[in-house]
């Protein structure tokens, strides 16, 4: 059987992995939107292409009704479990909740403080339950804040719409999309079913520092600073500040031998700007 990677949710991170593996794998992806090379799902029957999968990536996030993949094709995935060599589920470091700037690793108890975090904890548990039942070779990847081409601070800084929201002891961990792809590829090359990996870079940092550095790279003034307590923000934007933590990434380095392409946001932003020309 040819190596075939079936991807639920052919979005930003999944496409980065597909680019990395396209010479080695047949790639089949689903999306809610019609587009080149993707299956519009759940509007289309996917039983035949799914039956060919040797590897499976779940990049589609949960909703208020739970995990959409398990809700609709749990039985089909259980049936092909014996032929699957690797399954990856993309989760989030939001499952750890707020640690007031303290460190977390993969063994830290899950204590999400947002609705999205709770949905992810439930989805992780549902996939783990299926793995126990069927022998599914499941790996869970908890992603930090994702940035990369087309997803960085430069556009807002250039437009003058960026704001440096200041909240004491607020730090986020981040990860460049190309580093997500190489972590997933390393796991595919050396499967260890049941394992959980944090996927982040080496430098958790306050968001205002990242915006200031982006402005420095562009040679423009720093965006204005605003106090978190009084700043006008949408509930969604404000929820991102509900949690502060530093995430350890020792496991991807030690077990998967990953050497980050962009160990800090400074490396990543410099590369993005260079790529823009």
Do residues 242 and 98 lie in contact, with contact meaning Cβ atoms separated by under 8 Å? yes
Rounded CA-CA distance 81/85 in Å is 9
State the pLDDT at residue 236: 86
**Model pTM?**
0.97
> Which runs of consecutive H residues, i.e. helices, occur in the chain?
12-21, 47-51, 68-80, 115-134, 154-159, 177-189, 207-218, 235-239, 250-254, 265-276
Rounded CA-CA distance 70/199 in Å is 24
Q: Please, is 78 exposed, middle or buried when counting C-beta atoms within 10 Å of its C-beta (0-12, 13-18, 19+)? A: middle
State the pLDDT at residue 249: 98
- Paired with 89 in beta bridges are 58, 140
What is the CB-side half-sphere exposure of residue 226 using CA atoms within 13 A?
15
Rounded CA-CA distance 154/157 in Å is 5
Residue with tokens 């063994």: 107
State the pLDDT at residue 106: 98
pLDDT digits (tens, 9 = 90+) for 147-202: 999 999 999 999 999 999 999 999 999 999 999 999 999 999 999 999 999 999 99
- Paired with 247 in beta bridges are 104
Domain extents in the chain: 4-276
Report which DSSP code applies to 58: E
Question: Tens of pLDDT along the chain (277 residues)?
Answer: 799 999 999 999 999 999 999 999 999 999 998 777 899 999 999 999 999 999 999 999 999 999 999 999 999 999 999 999 999 999 999 999 999 999 999 999 999 999 999 999 999 999 999 999 999 999 999 999 999 999 999 999 999 999 999 999 999 999 999 999 999 999 999 999 999 999 999 999 999 999 999 999 999 999 999 999 999 999 988 888 999 999 999 999 999 999 999 999 999 999 999 998 7
Q: Is domain 4-276 in CATH 3.40.50.720, yes or no?
A: yes
């Amino acid at each position: 059987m040819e190596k075939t990677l079936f991807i639920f949710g052919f979005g930003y991170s999944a496409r980065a992995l597909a680019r990395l593996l396209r010479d080695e794998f047949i790639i089949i992806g689903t999306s809610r939107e019609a587009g080149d090379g993707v299956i519009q799902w759940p509007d289309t029957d996917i039983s035949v292409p799914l039956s060919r999968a040797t590897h499976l990536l779940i990049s589609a996030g949960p909703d208020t009704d739970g995990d959409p993949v398990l809700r609709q094709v749990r039985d089909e995935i259980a049936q092909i479990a014996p032929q699957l060599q690797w399954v990856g589920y993309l989760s989030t470091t939001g499952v750890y909740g707020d640690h007031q700037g303290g460190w977390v690793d993969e063994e830290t108890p899950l204590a999400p403080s947002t609705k999205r975090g709770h949905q992810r904890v439930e989805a992780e548990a549902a996939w783990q339950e299926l793995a126990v039942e069927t022998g599914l070779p499941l790996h869970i990847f908890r992603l930090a804040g994702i940035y990369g081409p087309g997803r960085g601070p430069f556009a807002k800084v250039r437009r003058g719409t960026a704001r440096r929201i200041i909240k004491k002891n607020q730090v986020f961990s981040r990860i460049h999309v190309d580093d997500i792809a190489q972590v997933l590829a390393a796991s595919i090359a050396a499967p260890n079913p049941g394992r959980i990996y944090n996927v982040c870079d080496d430098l958790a940092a306050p968001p205002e520092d990242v915006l200031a550095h982006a402005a420095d790279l562009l040679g423009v003034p720093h965006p204005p600073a605003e106090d978190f307590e009084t700043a006008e923000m949408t509930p969604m934007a404000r929820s991102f500040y509900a949690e502060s933590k530093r995430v350890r990434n020792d496991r991807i380095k030690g077990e998967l031998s990953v050497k980050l392409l962009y160990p800090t946001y400074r490396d990543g932003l410099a590369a993005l700007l260079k790529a823009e020309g």
